[in-house]
Amino acid sequence: MRFSKPSFLPFAKSSRKANIITVFRHARRNPRDFVSRLWCPRTIAKSLVFLSGLVVIGTAIAEILLYIRTGKNSRIGTTVINPFIPLARPSVQVHQGIYRGGTAKTGHVFVERFLGIPYAQTTGGYNRFMPPVKMMAGMTKHDARYWGHKCWGGPDGPDQRSGDDCLNINIWRTRGVKENQNVPVVVYFHSGSFNFGSGAERDIASFVAWSVDPIIGISVNYRVGALGFLSSNLTAEEGILNLGLKDQAAALEWVQENIRMFGGNKDRVTIWGSSAGAHSVGHHLMKIDVPAHFQGAIMESGAPTARAVYPYNHPLHEEQYKRFLELTGTADIPDESKMTHLRSIDIETIVAASESVFQQYSASLRWPFQPVIDGPGGMIPCAPLESWKARAYHKVPILTGFNTNEGSMFVDTAVDDPKEFDEFFQTLIPNFTEKDMRELNELYPDPSKSPESKYTEDRPGVGKQYKRLARAYGDYAYIAPVRHTAHFASALDRPDDAAVWMYQFDVNQTVIRGSNHGDQGEYVVYSPNVRKLPWSRHGAIGEQMHGYWTSFVISGDVNEVKKGRVKNRSTWAQYGKRGSSAKMVFGEHNNQRAGGKDEGALTENRPDLWGDAEGDFWWMRTIMSERI
């Protein structure tokens, strides 16, 4: 088919005033001519550019309106603006200078981040084995897009190396939060047995990004190992016990003074930790001689009564201290010069000695360099159990809980002889009497003597005593202490009691370890690892936990904030209300990640009766781990 040469002025180069209405009128009069002109490459190019512009402008307007309303962008909108978001450099001026941060992406959600901001001066030189020193005022500009140093102890990460200038924090905030906006703040203390770890441990960016309301998340680096917890009569005289806890307290003070500049509310701060971090939260909870710089506490798999909290002059601490001095070549130096010498030798010698002592005591789980009872005015003024009984703690809302198989990662999977079970606890708790050991064996029956024992082991390659030892140690070190917290903070149901919520996490991750110590962490933050799993149940569990946790951070109540993806989640019953012992169980019997097919229950409220007798046994003996 041939077309006559049209005189289509709206498309002609000489016509600069042509408009869309004229084009469409011509199309109606001469459709063939209009179509023929559309096949012109130049016309096609111009049309595509014009239509693309309309799409971009329309998307931008829609995204601006969506962001104003919700604080987030859609997947389509984020795809369009993705290339430009990382170029944004939020800037904040605080006490010691000006920090220019960056932008991080999790899923299709962006958050602003400020990494490696110092809250105290270097720990090197004279400041080694000394309390944290406050930062000086300044106006210097700093690049806060990259991780700062972590404190000495354990291997370096791909993005974070160890160094003396390690007392720093990392801040993530919902994109768009401005100065003085007063959004809730959560401060996270990492785990690591008080000997390892860093503020990069948990995906705080994901936790912040998926919150239905704007929040600010902070992680803290603090001194660990001998540099943070060197305990002895000498260090007590020097006033340098529990330096790692003092670092954490200094970080909380920095937050009080500066978080307003990031848009945070200093009067709506929640402190949060897992394992050693949870123990830390518990100790801050009980330091009542200073005002609380927090209004809520989250303790995952940890408590102030967890494991052993001995006085600073306990024989075990003195034994480990002497071994440390030997390894650093300080044993023969007079006491008045020991600390001066330790501040002068190279840091590698200090770290190597610290890690060597830890390894020496690791198998028996009598870890060195732990928080200690340092007396009135100290970070831990008395035995934590006595503080609970005396109600000497800050009355703030508490979220706490444990995993089903807390002890499985800590004990040897090959343990096979019943004598090893007995020797383990006799070494761990030397004050155990013959009566204690007899009751312990009755409570955790030996499967080699009692075929009906629930600790009978049928997994290949695992010792016959492993399940039994793992359960007993988990009850002693983590589960019973968590129940201490829930009971003493709420069970009396007094008018000044704050609300307490307790959970049990039961998602089996592996055949051997089960629902292991720390496994809940990636679910709580709704991490990409959980969101990408092939089983939808895990994403749902993560959504539920993240929803409860962020609601607690926002309001101090796990049930208060119900909107977004999990607005219809179940109401989590308080522990101790009207004499109840309620808890929320997450993912009960789920074994998909361990190769099974059972997706289990999503969530379920129920009385905390699991392992009740075992808990009672350890409750009566906790004080054995808090006295000489």
Give the bridge partners for 516, in sequence order.
405
Question: SS3 sequence, 571-626?
Answer: CCCCECHHHCEEEEEECCCCCHHHCCCCCCCCEEEEECCCCHHHHHHHHCCHHHHC
CB within 8 Å of 624: residues ≥ 6 apart: 429, 431, 432
Helix axes 418-428, 466-474, angle to 10 degrees: 20
Locate tokens 């703040």: which residue?
Answer: 185
Structure token pair of residue 521? 């962490």
DSSP state, 162? B
DSSP state, 311? B
Beta strands in 290-444 (DSSP E): 296-300, 398-403
Structure token pair of residue 185? 């703040």
Locate tokens 């906006």: which residue?
Answer: 181
Picking from 487, 480, 445, 474, the residue whose alpha carbon sits closest to that of residue 616 is 480
Picking from 193, 381, 169, 182, the residue whose alpha carbon sits closest to that of residue 285 is 381
CB atoms inside a 10 Å sphere around CB 203? 23
Specify burial of residue 349 (Cβ count, 10 A radius: 0-12, 13-18, 19+). Answer: middle
Structure token pair of residue 71? 């604080």
Backbone angles phi, psi at 619, to 5 degrees: -55, -40
Helix axes 31-38, 41-70, angle to 10 degrees: 80
- Rounded-to-integer distance, Cα 525 and Cα 544, Å: 10
- Rounded-to-integer distance, Cα 359 and Cα 145, Å: 35
4 counts as catalytic? no
Backbone angles phi, psi at 308, to 5 degrees: -125, 125
Structure token pair of residue 30? 């001469």
Phi/psi region, residue 218 (left: phi>0; alpha: psi -120 to 50; beta: rest), is beta
- Rounded-to-integer distance, Cα 58 and Cα 330, Å: 71
Q: How big is the CA angle at 176 (ends 277 and 253), to the nearest 5 degrees? A: 35
What is the helix (H) or strand (E) element at residue 105, kind and residue range?
strand 102-106
| Contact by Cβ (8 Å): 199, 215 | no
3-state secondary structure of 267: strand
Antiparallel, parallel or unpaired: β 216-220 and 183-189: parallel
Q: Which of 300, 406, 522, 599 is catalytic?
A: 406
Structure token pair of residue 490? 């709420």
Torsion of CA 118, 119, 121, 123, to 10 degrees: -90
Q: Which of 232, 275, 490, 515 is catalytic?
A: 275
237 counts as catalytic? no
Picking from 122, 226, 114, 222, the residue whose alpha carbon sits closest to that of residue 175 is 114
CA distances from 510 to 252, 304, 503, 516, 545 (A): 37, 29, 21, 8, 20
Backbone angles phi, psi at 399, to 5 degrees: -115, 120
Structure token pair of residue 463? 């010792």
Looking at the annotation, which residues are catalytic? 275, 406
